[in-house]
């Protein structure tokens, strides 16, 4: 099974850098392309394909190929910039953080992460930390403009208990600026995850920044 430009290690033992935001899989004789990264996304798509075939619906192979190729799902290991990497993800529980950590290691083996992190008050934050802690260079604790968002001080206390290096950076725009500043110096990954609300605000701040840079250069 090929993802991007290389074979996953579970298939061929080879890895290389991301070349594009594309996964390719072949559940039968039909070659399908999916604009989502990560083995779990390929598994989900294969299940969807199998369910479609089992349903007996009369849908052509061409239509199936077109449908998979046109999937749009923002903030699912979305690589906004390749170098230094900027990635948006919506992982917000321990299971999704396990998949996120595995995908990080598949695409960027051994590369440390500046994680822009906020979470809702009802989430298993220690469980999320347990999965991604080995990848973290620094946790940038922030807070989304949402009534369920947990205060950064409480997240920082949980981070200290988990021995995760951290600092507060509020608002979200400040967290992104801080992460980008450090990433430019050492090439580490800038990642947003922990809350869909936080990641949505990080994406908005990133898009505003890119637009302003484009306007200055034009």
Provide the CATH number for the domain around residue 173.
Answer: 3.90.190.20
Could you tell me if 65 and 133 lie in one domain? no
Confidence tier at 216 by pLDDT (50, 70, 90): confident
**By mean pLDDT, which of 18-32, 63-77, 185-199 is the weakest?**
18-32
Could you tell me if 34 and 55 lie in one domain? yes
Structural domain boundaries enclosing 212: 78-217
pLDDT of residue 7: 31
pLDDT of residue 34: 83
- State pLDDT tens for residues 91-127: 999 999 999 999 999 999 999 999 999 999 999 999 9
- State pLDDT tens for residues 39-54: 888 888 888 888 888 8
Residue 197 has pLDDT above 80, yes or no: yes
pLDDT of residue 14: 28
Peptide bond before residue 55 is cis, with ω within 30 degrees of 0: no
Decide which of 28, 45, 69 is a domain's last residue.
Answer: 69
Could you tell me if 46 and 89 lie in one domain? no
pLDDT of residue 191: 99
Residue 204 has pLDDT above 60, yes or no: yes
Q: Which two tokens stand for residue 54?
A: 């089992």
């Amino acid at each position: 099974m090929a993802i991007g430009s290389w074979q996953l290690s579970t298939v061929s033992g080879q890895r290389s850098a991301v070349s594009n935001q594309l996964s390719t899989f072949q559940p039968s004789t039909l070659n399908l392309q999916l604009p989502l990264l990560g083995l779990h996304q390929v598994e989900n798509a294969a299940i969807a394909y199998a369910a479609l075939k089992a349903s007996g619906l009369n849908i052509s192979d061409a239509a199936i190929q077109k449908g998979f190729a046109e999937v749009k799902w923002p903030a699912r290991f979305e690589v906004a910039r390749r170098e230094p990497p900027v990635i948006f993800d919506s992982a917000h529980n321990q299971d999704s953080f396990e998949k996120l950590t595995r995908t990080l290691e598949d695409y960027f083996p051994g590369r440390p992460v500046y994680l822009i992190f906020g979470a809702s008050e009802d989430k298993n934050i220690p469980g999320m930390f347990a999965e991604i802690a080995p990848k973290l260079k620094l946790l940038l604790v922030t807070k989304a403009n949402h009534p369920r968002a947990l205060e950064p001080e409480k997240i920082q206390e949980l981070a200290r208990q988990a021995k995760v290096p951290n600092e507060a950076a509020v608002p979200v725009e400040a967290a992104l600026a801080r992460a980008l500043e450090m990433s430019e110096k050492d090439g580490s990954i800038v990642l947003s995850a922990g809350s869909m609300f936080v990641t949505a605000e990080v994406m908005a701040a990133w898009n505003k920044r890119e637009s302003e840079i484009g306007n200055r250069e034009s």
